[in-house]
Amino acid sequence: MKEKLIIYQVFPRIFTNMTASCVPGGTLEENGSGKFNDITAKVIGTIADLGVNCIWLTGVIEMATKTSYPGIPADNPNVVKGEAGSPYAIKDYYDVAPSLAENVGERMSEFENLVGRIHNQGLKVIIDFVPNHTAREYHSDVAPAGVRDFGCDDDFGKFFSPSNNYYYIVNQQFCPDFPLDLEGNKPYVEFPAKATGNDCFTAFCHRNDWYETVKLNYGYDPGDNSRHFEPVPDTWLRMLHILRYWASKGVDGFRCDMVFMVPEEFWHWVIPQVKQDYPDVIFIGEIYDVNLYRTFLDYCHFDYLYDKVNLYDTLVGIEKHNVSAAQLTGCWQCVDGIGDKMLNFLENHDEVRFASREYAEDPSKVIPSLVVSAMISKGPFMIYYGQELGEMAHDNEGFAGDNNRSTIFDYWSYDTLRRWYDNGRCSALKLTRHERWLRKLYKNVLTMCNARRAFREGCFFDLMYVNLRNSGFNPHRQYAFLRYTESEALLVVANFDDNNIDLSLSIPQLAIDMADLASGKQCAKDLLWGRELSFEVGADVQTALSVKGHDAVIVPLKKRGNNAIE
């Protein structure tokens, strides 16, 4: 049975940290850190109980940090974001973050044991692959024999060379618009300056640039837009080795960071190379241009892509800006034929929390967005740790301030997670009544995604086109669709309005024929809440349903020749 991928994104540094009195911008000693070993079989089992079948361990590979460890000096604090550092400023592609280990000298073994525990629970594990940039100070102290650091063989006298790993602003010292001597006892000096990670090809980047990173050179010369891919660039070969290294440790896949900032030709070359040895390894691309979706699936060989700028942004617009729910039809049409390759989500480390002041303010409003994004296709769905508890991200943790996101730069912990984790007990005893209700909701929806074959592998039929002028249906605040197989049909109606509604829905003859629906009066139990419903189905009748404000119904429909409803 092919499962729909349900991903739980975990940030281990914070996920199991039980320090209750964290100091904004605090050190590791002050605020503590979660550990690989904290994610026990019980923790993994509790995550799996939500309906999750894949865990994304975020912030695993060693990043630049202000924290020193035995044998591992701290990085220059003037080019590190936050006390703990950004997980996307990689300083050693072959190592894991020492903050996540109980025994720093055994950190890789602790990581490998965690991968084993996840697999023993029947789940997959993915990690980040950050190909576009490294930390400004890159050095591996555990790389396999013969592997040299990025940049160690570069010609510093050239802005671009096909054999260089970085781009150099020749005869210029790195000089951003902020001082490089405010922290620590040693100013940060970089000469010649390297290009900054967000394609800032000068020595004079700004504080809002990715100043803690440097851009990697894949054989593309931004000076004249020329491409130099033969012979295979050194950076390509290094990255292939890194991907194979992690795949050999049992990692099931990679969430690839900012894939569109790396030449498409690299992905076209590297993913098949990895899959020759590890055919089941999956590649998920972070991408923000709908026009590139098909290229990155077909030519670049990605298995799945973020659908942020299409479905996610539309759902945000419906919730925050009175965008019509009818716009959701355009979302699936935009990815028609590749929708099953789209990774949908409502939260991740880059986006504001759903329950935050900047988004919905109330975690209980999540139902229509959750149901639509998780059930509109066979593609993967992802939640972010603490989302199922309604984490609101109202803390000022340090570097990024109170920005409605959970920090990725600081040592921190959250009250919601502490009460759930409860020193490894993973109990609901300390959760509020509302948190228990919300977690049960997520479990029901996520479990249903694979328990019901219509969601797992069924066809999709949008019912909006026949209801746009239906006086009993508000297409600007409600969205309705069918999912069906030869043996099962499910009607989904999501209500984005604050008010309870009594609606009358048209189901056209085309849908009845394609889904092989029985006509006439029916009774069924709403799969979301267990409510008994009575309604009628037919091309010449209206299907009457009641849906509460910011809620949804998921209704099994009878098939022709089958009086039973699955």
pLDDT single digits (tens) 219-266: 999 999 999 999 999 999 999 999 999 999 999 999 999 999 999 999
SS3 359: coil
pLDDT digits (tens, 9 = 90+) for 143-183: 999 999 999 999 999 999 999 999 999 999 999 999 999 99
**pLDDT average, residue stretch 454-465:** 98
Residue 86: what pLDDT? 98
Task: Provide the pLDDT for residue 2.
Answer: 86
Q: What are the strands of the beta sheet with 489-495, ordered from one edge?
A: 459-462, 478-484, 489-495, 551-557
| Average confidence (pLDDT) over 509-529 | 97
Residue 281 pLDDT class (50, 70, 90 cuts): very high
Sign of CA dihedral 181, 183, 186, 189: negative
Structure confidence by residue, pLDDT tens digits, 46-72: 999 999 999 999 999 999 999 999 999
pLDDT in tens, 423-445: 999 999 999 999 999 999 999 99
DSSP secondary structure of 9-48: EE-HHHHT---SSPPTT--HHHH----GGGS-HHHHHHHH
For 119-144, the pLDDT digits (tens) are: 999 999 999 999 999 999 999 999 99
pLDDT of res. 310: 98
Question: Domains in the chain and their CATH numbers?
Answer: 6-135+225-451 (3.20.20.80), 458-557 (2.60.40.1180)
Please provide the DSSP assignment of 130-197 as one string: --SEEESS---SSPPTTPPPTTTT--TT-S--TT-SB-EETT-----SS-S-SSSSS----SSEEPBT
Please enumerate, as own/partner, the contacts of 402-406 that have beta carbons within 8 Å and a separation of 24 or more: 403/352, 404/352, 404/353, 404/356, 404/357, 404/358, 404/359, 405/349, 405/350, 405/351, 405/352, 405/353, 405/356, 406/11, 406/14, 406/349, 406/353
Both tokens assigned to 484: 């069906």
Whole-model pTM over 0.75:
yes
